[in-house]
A and B are shown apart, each in its own frame.
Chain A
């Protein structure tokens, strides 16, 4: 867009820039944001960062308490589990499962969901109303129940759980993108673009997509935190990742038998889940507020 410099007012920064400015004005959101970035870095470098192999059993050092206990040592900062595996290493490697798995499922379900939702919105008519009813049906099933259904059919295991959670997330993306696209399609500028002779695809890519970014980004962060929770919950219920995978939920499930004698075995993965979900939620909240600020200003 060309901007005239005849007028005396300041250049309006781009929307992205405004959001970033609004977002970074609140300290807590920035802390959450950097925590999240840090976790992603840890995830990518987990092979290098983990002090030990997550599966390696230090047979002579079973149930070592964390380093701040009298019997703990700094070498095993968060202690060891019942098989002598270093908990810190397992939690670090677990990022690949719980966090990495959540990102993977959200990206895939996001792409599929937005595609379906947008196409349906642009088609309208009978097919759209069939979609509505299908969506209502699927949304009536709690996402954890839906995932459990997929597991019932395909059997337990990490791959199944990823698929199950992906399937569970798709309907929400369909719904959000469907509503957002419908709203955008009714605006004047879309009509203008149509008159300009845009094809449906061009219309979607150039006009609609930038305008539905806000609800999608917010949906994306919400889906990410619920994916982390669902993956961990299924792992905890022993339906997801199977031993010896260091998935946080299944780490907690196998730590239950040590609940009374070595509570740190379940505490640490729990905190890891908590911190990742909290920072995702905070980032989501921050983005939402920034968008709102943008609208009201």
Chain B
């Protein structure tokens, strides 16, 4: 034992490795391009490190800050947006790419045409359906993207859209390098574009080992304030306890999303700091409305009434979440407190089931979210509680466990009866909840876990998007929320807090309300 202790002590004269930070991250990203995926793993690992957007959303959720675009204007019809671009922005120069020119309008055109133009050489590279952009209707909204001159870009829309700028400010609307695209095309290696990424962000890609780590190095020629860290390593640690354990042993300097039950212990230790932020997210239970008996709204309502949310808040979230009465979190300007899901009432639930012709209940699969998220840190535990609740009304729930890939593809095909899942908003616009989760477009894009496609609902949210007056939009979203309570395609369960923890030697780390993590202004003391 004494011998072991000797080995354990770090000798004082060992040189410390360079100014680097190890961050315990949530999971292996499926690609290095956030355009392709809505997965939080991809956003966390890439968006804010490797890339920039044209503009960024302000913390209040309603105004924008310049990024790669320095200014922008809309014409009177509301369909032409013109962006003035920043000068002298350099792309990453790495072992596999040397930029031949700085950032200009061609790069913006390249990045957005990749999404909307099926003839773009990179459209099908990476086999993506661009699910975020499809789910917000981007390909049907943007008519064209043109470079007016090297420092001016113009987007033309088919119709005015109040959410357009919000969507450009999301973590998904990143700018790629057209120059890199051409070089790869010339070498016949187009598939590398999302594996060996190039962007303008504060860090550049250095090394990656699957399911193990990602190493980024600082981008010396970054246009903004140069990052203080030389190196950022994302240590991929999907298991929450392991992340915490690594933070405690000092293997990680900072960690994503400490498990709720461990926050108390962390707060008590002075050598660590915990940051919180009310998240723009919602954890919900989605019913596959294509399969009987869940295609009957009465059955869905009965299931919703059978759920007791109070114990869930305690057992699953340990108090780091609030009960969700609507898809929208209360902090959103579209939130309507009167359109609230009904409270726990198993008696009424049994009556509704009997009314719908299932007095003896039925069997139901519940798919479990295989990862930990702020909106659902432990889906298994949540499902076990639901299982208990459902037994009271005669519904026998079976828990179904899949790994991430099988889970995603099974959901897109609609193999599930119901699933515990959730959504982290990419911007503060209410449309960002309603459209990607429940619209007919979202069903096509494969992000609509309820497989729900309802004309009336789509009409409401489409009108809200076209509306230019703030009050009109608010009224329409309120109607939409009332309609959802009536139809109950999903049962909102909780709005989780976004949390992260770090050692006290890490300075300048903040929680991003819309996902991702920004290391550009972090220092190590």
Residue numbers of A with Cβ under 8 A of B are 55, 57, 59, 62-63, 82-84, 156, 242-244, 254, 256-261
Contact = CB atoms under 8 A, between A and B. Distances in A.
Interface in B366-395: 378, 380-381, 384-385, 387-388
B380 A258 contact: no
**Interface residues of B, dominant DSSP:** helix
A63 B381 CA distance: 13
Given A57-B311, A257-B259, A260-B248, 16 more contacts: A62-B314, A62-B315, A82-B381, A83-B381, A83-B384, A242-B399, A243-B380, A254-B380, A256-B239, A257-B241, A257-B261, A257-B378, A258-B241, A258-B261, A260-B241, A260-B245
Contact of A244 (B311, B314, B384): B384
A243 B262 contact: no
Contacts of B240: 257
B265 interface: yes
Contacts of B315: 59, 62, 82-84
Interface string B295-333: 000000000000000010011000000000000000000
B244 interface: yes
B241 A256 contact: yes
A258 B262 CA distance: 8
A57 B388 CA distance: 8
A83 B385 contact: yes
B182 interface: no
A261 B401 contact: no
Contact of B384 (A57, A156, A256): A57
B391 to A, nearest CB: 10
Given A62-B315, A83-B381, A256-B241, A261 B388 contact: no
A276 B311 CA distance: 35
B250 to A, nearest CB: 15
Interface string B225-242: 000000000000001110
Interface string B257-269: 0010110110000
Contacts of A261: 261-262, 264-265
A254 B259 CA distance: 14
B313 to A, nearest CB: 11
Contacts of A256: 239, 241
Contacts of B380: 243, 254
Contacts of B401: 156, 242
Contacts of A55: 388
B399 A243 contact: yes
Size range of the interface on B? 20 to 34
A84 B399 CA distance: 19
Interface in B244-293: 244-245, 248, 259, 261-262, 264-265
Interface string B187-205: 0000000000000000000
A242 B380 CA distance: 11
* 6 A-B pairs closest in CB distance: A59-B311, A257-B241, A259-B241, A261-B261, A256-B241, A62-B315
Interface string B444-473: 000000000000000000000000000000
A120 to B, nearest CB: 41
Nearest to B391: A55
A82 B262 CA distance: 12
A4 B99 CA distance: 105
B261, B262, B314, most chain A CB atoms within 10 A: B261
B245 A259 contact: yes
A57 B385 contact: yes
17 contacts: A57-B388, A59-B314, A82-B378, A83-B315, A242-B401, A243-B380, A243-B384, A243-B399, A244-B384, A256-B241, A257-B239, A257-B240, A257-B378, A259-B241, A259-B245, A260-B248, A261-B264
A145 to B, nearest CB: 20
B255 to A, nearest CB: 13
A260 B265 contact: yes
A28 to B, nearest CB: 27
Contacts of A243: 380, 384, 399
Contacts of A254: 380
A284 B271 CA distance: 51
Contacts of A258: 241, 261
A241 to B, nearest CB: 12
